[in-house]
Amino acid sequence: MTILQGINFTTDSALLPIVVESDAQSVINLINGSTPVSTDIGLVIWDIKDCVSNLPRTSFTFVPRAVNVVAHSLSKFGLTIADDCFSMKSYPPCIERFVRDDHLV
């Protein structure tokens, strides 16, 4: 469901292309696959595929959590806030160290 919300946000904000990296390998496999899924998650997978069907260069990739520390930290941070928020000028304190370290590379 989080992937679908992210896609809706990025398309509404015209932040394209969409690149989704997730440590949920089974979900990424379902999104990239062609076999219909007959469970509740299948409906979400169908919605995701429908949302990106006309978008250019959309990708869904499995990335191990150990490699994607910033995304994992942001996900955990997102669980602690009550309202949606978005900023192009700042970032949450929980990833400050990762952003600083990334600039040193």
Per-residue pLDDT of the chain (105 residues; tens, 9 = 90+): 789 998 998 999 888 999 999 989 999 999 999 988 888 899 999 999 999 999 988 999 999 988 877 777 777 887 887 777 777 777 777 777 777 776 654
Task: Report the C-alpha gap between 16 and 96 in whole angstroms.
Answer: 24
Is the Cβ–Cβ distance between 95 and 74 less than 8 Å?
yes
pTM of structure: 0.75
Task: Report the C-alpha gap between 16 and 27 in whole angstroms.
Answer: 21
Task: Report the C-alpha gap between 41 and 30 in whole angstroms.
Answer: 9
Q: Which residue carries 């690149």 as its tokens? A: 19
Query: Which tens digit of pLDDT belongs to each residue from 34-63?
Result: 988 888 899 999 999 999 999 988 999 999
End-to-end, the C-alpha distance of the chain in Å comes to 33
